[in-house]
Chain A
């Protein structure tokens, strides 16, 4: 050991205590950071990238472990070398040290060794890249189309029609909460018609950007039942931070129940028109942008041709269609993950829209003359948009609370089939 420790050679060198005084701040920092890291609070991290919840994120985790330990070795090695050099070769005399100009052997060694390490790293990387890309291009699996808006997510199930009897009604559409049956291979087609966004559910998959003009496909396995938190990861304007969503992986029967509930019209608000289900009159102002399945609220645009908002030639903001509100009473959050879905929050949202979520394209009709009673009517109506027997997929465990160790490969045959 003593060979590696600098030895006292003459009186020019600083005393040992003096040397320690110099190293002390560095050591103190190391201690502080280590302590902080060790004693950091045990918080629930629903967006954690290192608690994989399906085989795909498991792949990534394995790669991460390889490179993490490799990096740690290099990091510790280089830092120790620097500390050693700094302590060992301090100036002790005025004598000039040997004037070494270089070493061919060393140069070759520290070129070739990293190259070999990197090649070893590249091979598993490329394999995972190609595997994941191939999986996303598959036509099998459970397809979901996601259209990212400013600043919410429109979720469409292309293989699940909105109406069993009338195919012209198009696919089932919801917003900000994606339900998928457990065991399915989910293939998400990401589309956008405004600015860039990025779709990211850290526990289920890496992120993939929503690139206007392109359709990007992302694959993940719905391996375990649970609530998984997603977020927009590409800067997209004022409310970028409040563009969150959830992937709810539910048992097949709950998923079926949810689809059935979605297709069931809500209770009629107007007994005078028995053939159609009317929305309450106060909700009339909302019709331009919102749809509720099975009711007269069907005029708002949705899909790729509907843009959530933009600026016209004079720079004025033109609001556009918003989320489909069918079964909104069942959603955990409103305003794209900003507020918990409670009547009080819904009222706050309606009365203080742009203060709650800066930049939002939804107009504040309360400021433009909607009365308190009308707001209450809308709140009651929206909160009532849920099946009487309770919401399917409610009360799931939060994804990060599931034991990562128990994540396995999907058993063959467990792949869900879409509801006809």
Chain B
């Protein structure tokens, strides 16, 4: 169809699914399992306490990225989806970080004594 060419976009069929094979899915899943194990392990490690929170944040974000990128195909999928989802995440994260900052910064909370 000439109109598609004029659009500069092609209708994509199943081509992108070939990026990842079941073997790779299993490999990703093993990595995810290992990360989870590490998370739980360092949770019980007293010496890891000072670095526990940043480590947990990084590890969970890695898991998040792996599932979204590989299992949900976002890494290979249409850029529209990437843009949408990442923009949504950015808005949501910034709104709620600001929201939490206001509560954590608030000094006026006072329970009944």
Contact = CB atoms under 8 A, between A and B. Distances in A.
A215 B112 contact: no
A367 interface: no
A217 B106 CA distance: 13
Contacts of A103: none
B106 to A, nearest CB: 8
B99 interface: no
B108 A216 contact: yes
Interface residues of B, number: 6
A214 B109 contact: yes
A103 B106 CA distance: 47
B101 interface: no
Interface residues of A, number: 10
A305 B113 CA distance: 9
A213 B110 CA distance: 6
Interface in B92-107: 106
Interface string A207-251: 000010111110000000000000000000000000000000000
A214 B112 contact: no
Interface string A297-310: 00000001100000
Contact of B108 (A214, A304, A305): A214
B50 interface: no
A44 B34 CA distance: 76
Nearest to A190: B108
Contacts of B111: 213
B109 A305 contact: no
Nearest to B111: A213
A370 to B, nearest CB: 35
A305 B106 CA distance: 23
Nearest to A137: B107
B112 A305 contact: yes
B62 to A, nearest CB: 38
Interface of B: 106, 108-112
Interface of A: 191, 193, 211, 213-217, 304-305
Given A191-B110, A215-B108, A215-B110, 13 more contacts: A193-B112, A211-B108, A213-B109, A213-B110, A213-B111, A214-B106, A214-B108, A214-B109, A214-B110, A216-B108, A217-B108, A304-B112, A305-B112
